[in-house]
Amino acid sequence: MQSGGDHPQDRRLSPDERMRSLPVPVLRLVPQPALDEIGAELIVGDDADGLLQMSASLSYILRGDAPDPGSDDVAEHPDAVLLDGVRTTWHLNRSERNGLVPVLLAHVAEVLIGHLSDAALDGGSGDPPAPYAVSARAVRRNVPVLVGGREENGVEIDTDPFIYALGAELANGSLLTAVLPRDELPRLRIAFGRRP
């Protein structure tokens, strides 16, 4: 944790200092040639007694291929944004309510609501989407998740037409969750490591 009693949301702290205030290492997708981190957000839940939970959420851009200059061709793979693609979560007190599956489902819901809202706006309707949820029945257990070069026992959601999601509970008590656009999976290496 940050020394000196500074709250992790203190605006005097740089974004990197806020990320380092998480009591566990922040995880990210492993470096890849066409993948760049474009944003990092620290989400803090606290009460009068102090911190209850913290999450570091990372967003990326997956660069597409550009058509030849002067060509009328359209890029086969345009740039794709992976908003809140990878999240590391820590809870002071663990319970069934904040275990891996509920945290993964909440992460999926947030990403899908954003995706469906964008689709509605792109489609010209401008209407927010109807409630959309993925249930715990969609979660498959005992799935290997590559973290720091080691396979961790994890879970996945591989039933949604828009996203692929996976997560793992790590030995240090943190939860790793990732929600990635299904269309971009062939261009991504799904492996995780520590964020510097």
Q: Tell me the DSSP string of the chain.
A: --GGG--TT-TTS-HHHHHHTSSSPPEEEPP-TTEEEEEEEEEEEEETTEEEEEEEEEEEEE--PPPPTT--PPPSS--EEEEEEEEEEEESS--GGGSHHHHHHHHHHHHHHHHHHHHHHHTT--PPPPP----GGGEEEEEEEEETTEEEEEEEE---SSEEEEEEE-TTS-EEEEEEEGGGGGG----EEE--
Structural domain boundaries, residue 35: 3-64+76-194
Query: Of 39-43, 178-182, 184-188, where does mean pLDDT reach its minimum?
Result: 39-43
| Residues whose CB falls within 8 Å of the CB of residue 145, separated by 6 or more in sequence, listed in order | 151, 152, 153, 154, 166, 167, 168, 176, 192
In a domain, 71, yes or no: no
pLDDT at 177: 98
Q: How much is the pTM? A: 0.84
In a domain, 70, yes or no: no
Q: Summarize the confidence of residues 58-75 as an average pLDDT.
A: 76
pLDDT at 46: 72
pLDDT digits (tens, 9 = 90+) for 159-177: 988 899 999 999 999 999 9
Amino acid at site 195: R
In a domain, 69, yes or no: no
In a domain, 110, yes or no: yes
In a domain, 189, yes or no: yes
* Distance between CA atoms of residues 119 and 99, nearest Å: 30
In a domain, 171, yes or no: yes
Q: What are φ and ψ of residue 51, in 5° steps? A: -70, 135
Pick from 24-28, 51-55, 74-78 the range whose average pLDDT is largest.
24-28
* Distance between CA atoms of residues 195 and 176, nearest Å: 13
pLDDT digits (tens, 9 = 90+) for 67-105: 666 666 666 777 899 999 999 999 988 888 899 999 999
- Whether residue 194 is predicted with pLDDT greater than 60 in this model: the reply is yes
The total domain count for the chain is 1
In a domain, 166, yes or no: yes
